């Protein structure tokens, strides 16, 4: 099925199910075109830095396969070029936006062997609901500030 689901049909499907698709949310992040990468704290990145790999190489594949104004981000990893996979490590996409996206649609074109590269999802509402009452009370007046200002 994924081979029939082109980037164009993916955008149309998303518009029909969820509403408008905005390039600033679903397109490639602007920082990759500045030679930056969000995964520099991951193990693969640390090893690459120790081996002398330069920062601009981390975004090379992403800039090779994406245009700055694209509606969708193509996440492609070339093992011979990429020290880390784009999006490596646990993360939440663009939740720092004032109006974060309602949903994300992910289509795998090539899948790793079973047990490798598993995508995991967490429901933070359930995580909060299962906290002990004492912890909920301790954090009841706390706020977080999630930002992308450093990238």
Chain CA centroid to CA 42, Å: 14
Average pLDDT over residues 117-133: 84
Query: DSSP letter string over 5-53?
Result: --HHHHHHHHHHHH----HHHHS--GGGGGT--TTTTSHHHHHHHHTT-
Q: What radius of gyration do the chain's Cα atoms show?
A: 18
% of the chain with per-residue pLDDT over 90:
11
Report whether 58 contacts 81 (CB < 8 A): no
DSSP 80: T
Rounded to two decimals, what is the model's pTM?
Answer: 0.56
More confident residue, 21 or 52: 21
């Amino acid at each position: 099925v994924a081979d029939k689901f082109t980037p164009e049909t993916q955008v149309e499907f998303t518009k029909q199910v969820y509403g408008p698709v905005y390039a600033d949310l679903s397109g490639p992040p602007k920082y990759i075109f500045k030679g930056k990468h969000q995964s520099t704290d991951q193990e693969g990145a640390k090893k690459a830095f120790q081996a002398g790999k330069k920062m601009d190489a981390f975004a090379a594949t992403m800039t090779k396969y994406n245009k700055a104004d694209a509606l969708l981000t193509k996440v492609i990893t070339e093992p011979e070029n990429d020290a880390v996979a784009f999006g490596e490590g646990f993360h939440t996409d663009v939740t720092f936006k004032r109006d974060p996206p309602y949903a994300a649609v992910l289509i795998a074109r090539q899948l790793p062997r079973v047990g490798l590269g598993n995508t995991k999802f967490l429901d933070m509402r359930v995580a909060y609901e299962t906290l002990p009452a004492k912890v909920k009370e301790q954090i009841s007046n706390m706020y977080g500030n999630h930002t992308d200002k450093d990238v």
